[in-house]
A and B are shown apart, each in its own frame.
Chain A
C-alpha cells in the first residue's frame, strides 16, 4: 500500500516536472541571457573574496593558531621542567632524610658502644679492686691465723704467770709456764683453730 503511494508520488513528480519544464520554457540555467553577467559578477565577487580572505583574515587565523600551538607547547615544556625539578627536589629530600637517619643511627651506636665500654672498664676496675681487697683481707686473715696461736700462747703465759704470782705469790719461771701452755695448746689445737 505504502509502496504504491510512494511510487505514485514519484510518478506524479516526474509528470509535474515535465509540466514545469513545458510551462516555463525549459531550464533557466540554459538560457544564455545572463551568462555573461553571472561570469562577470562571479569573477568580481569571488576574486574580491579571495583577496580579502588571503590578505586579511586567513593570516590572522593562522597566526592565532600558531600562537596557541606555541603557547601550548611552551606550557607543556614548562610543566615538564617543573615536574623534573620537583622530582629532583623530592630525591634530594629523601636523600637528606636517609643521611640524617644514618647519622642518627651512627651517633646512637657510638654512644652505646662508648657507654658499654665505660661500664665494662669500670666493672673491671671495680672487680680488680674488690679482688685486691679480698686478697688483702684473706692475707690478713691468714696472717692473723698464723700469728694468733703464738699470741694466745704468749697471753696465756703472761696471764698464767700473773695468776700464779697472785695465787702463790711466788715468781715462776716463764719458761716452765710456756712449756706447760704449749703442751696444753698442742692438745687443744684441733679444738679451737684449724677447722
Chain B
C-alpha cells in the first residue's frame, strides 16, 4: 500500500488552518497536465494539411472525443466539448502515468475521483435545471409506467440519480487501486517464491501490466462517456 501514500514535497503550505501543501499527488497531476499540454502543443505547432505524427495524435484524440460526444449526447453538447476533452485526457494521462513503476496514480485516490464526479454531477444537474426548468424533474418519472408502480419507480430513479457521483468516482478509483494492488501482490510473490516458483507470478505480472494499460485507457473512456450520458440526460430530456 506504500504506492498509494501521499506525502508532502517541499515546505508545508497552510492557508489558515487548512493544509494545501504540494504533495506527490499534486506533482503527478501537474506532470500529467503538462504532458497533455506539451504533446498537444507540439501537435498543433505546425498545422499542415498532411499531418505529422504528433499532429495526427492531437487530431485523433480530438476527433475521438468529438465523435464520442456527438454519438452519445448529440450536437447540443458541443459547448461542453472542451471540458469533456480535458476530463478524458486528464484521467487518461493520470492513469497512464500511474503505470510507470514507482510513480503515483492520482486517480487511485477516492477524493480526486469523487471531486471530479461531484463536479460533473452538480454541473449536469444545474445544466438540466437551466435547460428544462422544473421540468427536469420529469427525469425521475419514466413514461409508460403503471400508476401503481410509479411511487416505487420514482424513488428508485432518485436514488440511482443521486448515486451517480458515487458510482462514477468509485468505479475509477476502485479499478485503479485494485489493478495496482494486484500488480503489487504478484510482484511480491515473485520475490517470495524465488527463482524456482517465481516465474509463474512474473508472467502474471507481465500479463497484468498489459491488462492494466488497457484498463487505464478503458476507465478514462468510461469516465468520459458516462459524463456524456449524464450530460445527454440533462440536454435532451428523454423520459
Contact = CB atoms under 8 A, between A and B. Distances in A.
B140 interface: no
Nearest to B7: A34
Given A54-B82, A58-B82, A63-B47, A13 B30 contact: no
B177 A29 contact: yes
A38 B109 contact: yes
A71 B49 contact: yes
Given A49-B33, A57-B41, A61-B58, A29 B26 contact: no
B23 A9 contact: no
B29 A45 contact: yes
Contacts of A34: 6, 8, 19, 21, 23, 25
Contacts of B112: 38, 42
B75 interface: no
Interface of A: 5, 9, 12-13, 16-17, 20-21, 24, 27-31, 33-43, 45-46, 48-50, 52-54, 57-58, 60-65, 67-68, 71
A33 B5 CA distance: 11
Nearest to A30: B110
B187 to A, nearest CB: 10
**SS class, residues of chain B in contact with chain A:** helix
A49 B36 CA distance: 9
Q: Which of the listed residues B82, B189, B204 has the most CB atoms from chain A within 10 Å of its own CB?
A: B82
Interface of B: 1-2, 4-6, 8, 18-23, 25-26, 29-30, 33, 36-37, 40-41, 43-44, 47, 49, 55, 58-59, 62-63, 81-83, 85-86, 89-90, 106, 108-112, 115-116, 173, 177, 181-182, 184-186, 188-189, 200-201, 204
A60 B47 contact: yes
A65 B66 CA distance: 12
Contact of B44 (A17, A61, A68): A61
26 contacts: A9-B186, A9-B200, A12-B189, A20-B1, A24-B1, A28-B6, A29-B111, A29-B177, A34-B25, A37-B6, A38-B6, A38-B25, A41-B29, A45-B26, A46-B86, A46-B116, A49-B36, A49-B90, A50-B82, A53-B37, A53-B40, A53-B86, A54-B82, A65-B59, A65-B63, A67-B49
B4 A27 contact: yes
A183 B191 CA distance: 171
B49 A68 contact: yes
Q: Which of the listed residues A17, A36, A41, A67 has the most CB atoms from chain B within 10 Å of its own CB?
A: A41
B79 to A, nearest CB: 10
A136 to B, nearest CB: 99
Contacts of A46: 29, 33, 86, 90, 116
Contacts of A54: 82-83, 86
Contacts of A53: 36-37, 40, 82, 85-86, 89
A163 B194 CA distance: 175
Contact of B23 (A27, A30, A31, A41): A41
Given A9-B201, A67-B47, 7 more contacts: A21-B1, A28-B6, A29-B109, A41-B22, A41-B25, A45-B30, A50-B86
